[in-house]
Structure 1
Amino acid sequence: MRTAHRVEKVRTAEAELMARLPDGALMQRAAAGLAAACADLLPRVYGSRVVLLVGSGANGGDALWAGARLARRGAGVHAVLLAPDRVHTAGLAALTGAGGRVADDPFDVLATADLVLDGITGIGGTGGLRPDAVPVARAARGSDAVVVAVDLPSGVEADSGEVRGEALRADLTVTFGTHKPALLIDPARTCAGTVRLVDIGIGPYLPSVPEVEALHHADVARLLPRPTAGSDKYRRGVVGIAAGSARYPGAAVLAVAGALRGGAGAVRYVGPAADAVIARFPETLVHAGPPAKAGRVQAWVVGPGLGEDADAVRDVLASDVPVLVDADGLRLLDPDAVRARSAPTLLTPHAGEAAALLGRARTEVEAARLASVRALADRFGATVLLKGSTTLVADPGTGVPVRADAMGTPWLATAGSGDVLSGLAGSLLASGPAARDAASAAAHLHGLAGRLAAARGVPITAQEIADALPAAWRGVRDPG
């Protein structure tokens, strides 16, 4: 599992460790890891051309000390000082002592660089790049050089993942001690490229509960249900699907497709699309409705393609089992009914639906995804899965980390994909895990299924995503 901590916690941990180390030792650890990562990217270090973009403070110091290490190995290193009066003096002395030079013309050295080390701003930076740094950053990105960010790409905000101005997109980000939330959450994540974590020894001084966490295959595998010798279809869980309408029968079919592959022992469908569902999946149990009369379930999914059937939403929310609300169900949602529930509720909006629920513009939600998912969870007293290029899962309150999942592919942005996800997550919910765990596992499996379905490099359909779920399940359970 990858974990990310807020800047305040990182700085506190660094201060505690530095009090136990010789002066400068922590920066040397960071510089050593940074220089090693840069060396791995170069065909050879000797004779390569490296440009350091150096801001003020420790971030610029890391870049200078790493540059000194590369210069001692024969690289031609030039430093572009963006804050000469606040440069890290010891780092600059180390660079020049190793044969590195301060660039007279930043654009001249950038034009021929093999690697650019971005040390403009550190983890405390806010508001995007300063105007004087923008031309240099653009020249770096427009060159043929590989761009490596020091700890965090300059111009992104570490704690929020927001990008409030211009940022320097990296090919590789070398981060120290722990991930920062911005490295796991869009839009900042897309600026980071590949992320490499360097252990500098602060782990024991960090809080045990991070701000954000990202699950690996092994973490997800532990969340998936596994039948035992005593299992039957009812003990494995029954998920109810209240979805579809005369106009959108396909939404019901796709939600059932996801649910049948989500680990529950049976799927009970309620709604007007029963004929379409049975024609595609004859193993489904169907009922004309209302949901309260359909029979016992361990979880409900309500909303995909539902149209204007507010009664179905009210009926499902009145139940005493976990409920997932998606799509049209979100539009018909009564916040008071959600807050009054004693059983868990899982909401699965995309950015537009989240914006409507929060009374904000969609662009605001997309720009501040972490804050938005937390706000939704707190407003409704529910678990929220916010779909997107990184899917976020949040519980109410601040004591539980937000989970971020970037397993998906842009090919998942296709009609019906969300219906498959809602059925899958609801089926997992029926098998017994907490809403946060069911949502996290579903997002990961759905993303991996999308990747598998899109492996041929051609457009995919929602049904193909559903068909790839068994392979995704196997891939998570047995990655070898």
Structure 2
Amino acid sequence: MIRAYPAAAIQAAEEPVLAATPADALMVQAAGALATTVLRELRALGARRPGSVVLLLVGGGNNGGDALYAGARLARRGLVVLAALCAGTVHERALATARSAGVEVHPLRSGAELDVLALLTLARRAGVWVDALTGIGAAGGLREPLAGAVRALDDERLASPDEPLVVAVDVPSGIGVDDGALPGPVLPAHVTVTMSAPKPGLLLPPAAALAGRIEVVDLGLDAALAAGAPETAARLTAADAADLWPVPGAADHKYTRGVLGLVAGSARYPGAAVLATSGALGAGVGMLRYLGPPEPAALITARHPETVPGPGRVQAWALGSGIDPAAADRAAAVREALAQALAEDLPVVADAGALALLPERLPATTLLTPHAGELAALLRSRGHDVDRAQVEAEPLRHLRAAVDATGATVLLKGATTLVAGPHGPVHAQADGTPWLATAGSGDVLTGITGALLAGCAAELRSDTRRGGDLLARLGATAALVHGRAGVRASGGGPAGATDVARAVPGVVRELIEGEP
């Protein structure tokens, strides 16, 4: 699992190490990893290292020192390194080391003014920009003159016929380090080299989309971080998903593998029920019971004859896909299933139309799966004045508000899917492809999630009583599988929801067998 810690926790973990090691030892170690990353990226681009030009965007914090020490290493390897000093005071020892190694130093800050024209002139000479303007201690958006400088650099980047490679030190300057917000201008990175552990803003949207690939530099702080404050954001890996996936044994049968009750689809949207069924069966549910009108039932049994129409014993419920909450008969079916689940303490995944039919408070064994617009509507129904654009701008804040308002675990769908419950960190999964943004894709996710809940129902009830976050981790696992199925189905091009559902069994097999 990739664990992200808030800036204060990382700084607290660093303090005793800094006190016990020679001056700048950690900084030099971080700089070595940063220089290695730059060299590796140049090699991947096919660029000749001798003569390649690197621009260091140097601020006044420790990140600026990291960049200067890394610049010294690069200059010694034959690269042309330019240091644009964008703060009135920078790390003195690192600056002296950079000068002695042949780095061209350009002081650009005079009082409150920054020579942006000179900065752009330097930027045009370089094929690599190292963003070390601010560090993890910065709060809020960039202030002037750095804000204006970053806007100008980003315009230059976009206008350049040969886009420069941007490598961020620790975090792209200007992002919300702890919440992933974008309170002002940010220079998007192709790679972020982050020290000790990821910061939440590297995993959380919308900032995560500007961080590029994340490289973590191990500075030996894992034990101190684990002993301090818990992580606030996390991302499951394929190995984590494999550990959570319910794999049948020789003694298992369809009932022990989990029976899922599905209330989905309608005469108007019969395909939603078919897609949810496909997702659940592809994910390996032991049995699926479908409760719905004749039209989708006929389609489902024609496509999946193993489906059992009609009521019966279940271990979990999947509710809402393809249902209009204003349709009295389908709304009644959702409410009846939900009442049964609550009475029997069964896990539930509630999607789409079910989100408007929920009681005011729910147990943590209920997983809600809205997109941004649905989350806004859910919050408005509970007294919050919020619209879709606000949810998209601050997804973590509004996800947490929805958890507090409902008591449920909430999965907010998006390019980076967020999952959080009343306990534990927020899980941030970015395993998919933009081609997943297609009609019916969410119905497949509902089926995958329902299958997981049915297969882990007993563990879920026990974990919830202990105040654990297993449901959030299962939701994140479903998002990971759904994302990977989208990538597999797409192959870099369009894919429909049916294609995604067909890809699910292969993705699950790869996870279980340990394939990357």
Q: TM-score, normalised by structure 2?
A: 0.87
Show the counterpart of 2:155: 138
Counterpart contact for 1:238–1:266, Cα < 8 Å: yes
1:362 and 2:420 are equivalent in the alignment: no
1:248 and 2:266 are equivalent in the alignment: no
Show the counterpart of 2:102: 99
Show the counterpart of 2:477: 441
Q: Alpha-carbon deviation of 1:16? A: 2.0
Counterpart contact for 1:9–1:207, Cα < 8 Å: no
Show the counterpart of 1:352: 373
SS for the counterpart of 2:49 is coil
Deviations 1:232-268 (A, max 9, x none): 1111110000111111111111111111122221000
1:87 and 2:96 are equivalent in the alignment: no
Show the counterpart of 2:432: 408
- Bigger mean CA offset, 182-191 vs 142-151: 142-151
Q: Alpha-carbon deviation of 1:310? A: 2.6
Cα distance in 1 for residues equivalent to 2:102 and 2:474: 56
Cα distance change on mapping 1:388 and 1:242 into 2, 3 Å: same
Q: Alpha-carbon deviation of 1:269? A: 0.2
Cα distance in 2 for residues equivalent to 1:4 and 1:458: 32
SS for the counterpart of 2:244 is coil
Show the counterpart of 1:60: 64
Q: Alpha-carbon deviation of 1:73? A: 2.1
Over the residues paired in the alignment, what is the CA RMSD in angstroms?
1.7
Show the counterpart of 1:210: 231
Higher helix share: 2
- Bigger mean CA offset, 237-246 vs 21-30: 21-30
Q: Alpha-carbon deviation of 1:356? A: 1.1
In percent, how many aligned pairs have the same letter? 48
Deviations 1:78-122 (A, max 9, x none): 111211x22222222221121112237322221121211111111
SS for the counterpart of 1:130 is helix
- Bigger mean CA offset, 242-251 vs 204-213: 204-213
Cα distance in 1 for residues equivalent to 2:335 and 2:102: 72
Counterpart contact for 1:302–1:312, Cα < 8 Å: no
SS for the counterpart of 1:300 is strand
Cα distance in 2 for residues equivalent to 1:132 and 1:67: 21
Deviations 1:146-165 (A, max 9, x none): 11101111121110011111
Counterpart contact for 2:445–2:478, Cα < 8 Å: yes
Q: Alpha-carbon deviation of 1:72? A: 2.1
Structure 2 residues without counterparts, runs of 5 or longer: 109-117, 381-385, 461-470
Show the counterpart of 1:154: 173
Cα distance change on mapping 1:299 and 1:198 into 2, 3 Å: same
1:332 to 357, 363, 370: 357
SS for the counterpart of 1:468 is helix
Structure 1 residues without counterparts, runs of 5 or longer: 288-293
Structure 2 counterpart of 1:284, one-letter code = T
Q: Alpha-carbon deviation of 1:142? A: 4.4
1:279 and 2:302 are equivalent in the alignment: yes
Counterpart contact for 2:290–2:309, Cα < 8 Å: yes
Show the counterpart of 2:30: 30
Counterpart contact for 2:485–2:503, Cα < 8 Å: yes
- Bigger mean CA offset, 269-278 vs 235-244: 269-278
Q: Alpha-carbon deviation of 1:428? A: 0.9
Counterpart contact for 1:234–1:266, Cα < 8 Å: yes
2:321 to 299, 304, 311: 304
Q: Alpha-carbon deviation of 1:347? A: 0.5
Cα distance in 2 for residues equivalent to 1:8 and 1:239: 43
Cα distance in 2 for residues equivalent to 1:137 and 1:55: 17
1:423 and 2:447 are equivalent in the alignment: yes
Structure 2 counterpart of 1:58, one-letter code = N
